[in-house]
Amino acid sequence: TELAKTIATLKQENTTNVRLTVYELISFGRFPHSSGKLTKEDKEKIEEAIEYMNLNEFRDKYLDELSGGQRQRAYIAMTIAQNTKYILLDEPLNNLDMKSAVQMMKILRKLVRDLKKTIVIVMHDINFTSVYSDYILAMKNGKLKHMDKTKNIVIQDKLEKLYEMPIEVKEINNKNICIYF
């Protein structure tokens, strides 16, 4: 439980075997602090997470009644309620439509900025990575190939070697976007 007070993790696929409401799921984030009996502080952290992720209207709804994006926001809220310095996310944009994916990345950036969280994300979409990441750890075949600030990684020759395909990097709205189709 000490590690769970420092690092929150969220897997790529998140399912529960029991029917939970959004509030109940988010309350699980407080388990390392409360061992199951919610204190006043726990309830405050849960409320903050619900508010932060704009889940007030869904708090009493069951997870299976939500869209994929709403459900993903509930799981992220659980990690926020856990109140750790570090959050590890595996493919948090999985199964999200474009609008929900952009909203999710903006929320994650806001977490970094407002709550001073360090968020490590496993992600395969180079354009989301380029636009929203401060640093990139680029891996290939299970080996670390590059680790640097995003602007030093999202460069045509580096990406072409990494991905073994032609990639053009264009600046659009002050963001480096990779064109690889």
8 Å CB contact between 59 and 22: yes
* pLDDT given for residue 16 in this prediction: 67
Would you state the structure tokens that stand for residue 69, as one six-digit string?
Answer: 């994006």
Q: How many helices (H) and strands (E) does the chain have?
A: 8, 7
Largest CA distance in the chain: 55
Which domain-ending residue is among 123, 156, 173?
123
CB 124 within 8 A of CB 178: no
For the chain, which ranges sit under pLDDT 70? 1, 12-17
Is residue 47 domain-shared with residue 135, that is, in the same domain?
Answer: no
Nearest C-alpha neighbor of 89 from the set 2, 3, 177, 7: 7
pTM above 0.85, yes or no: yes
Kindly state whether residues 71 and 4 are assigned to the same domain.
yes
Looking at the 3D structure of the chain, how many domains does it have?
Answer: 2
Residue 128 confidence (pLDDT): 97
In this prediction, residue 59 carries a pLDDT of 97
- DSSP string spanning 132-166? H-SEEEEEETTEEEEEEEHHHH--HHHHHHHHTS-
Q: Tell whether 78 and 2 lie within a shared domain.
A: yes
Same domain, 144 and 119: no
3-state secondary structure of 80: helix
Task: Give the H/E segment covering residue 170.
Answer: strand 168-172
52 and 88: one domain?
A: yes
User: Which tokens go with 138?
Assistant: 């680029």
pLDDT of residue 88: 95
Paired with 139 in beta bridges are: 144
Residue 21 shares a structural domain with residue 106: yes
Kind plus residue range of the DSSP H or E element containing 9: strand 7-10
Q: What is the pLDDT of residues 52-78, one digit of tens each?
A: 999 999 999 999 999 888 998 999 999
Last residue of a domain, one of 77, 104, 123: 123
| CATH number of the structural domain spanning residue 57 | 3.40.50.300
Q: Could you tell me the residue range of the domain that residue 104 belongs to? A: 1-123
Instruction: Report helix, strand and coil shares of the chain as percent, to nearest 5.
Output: 50, 20, 30
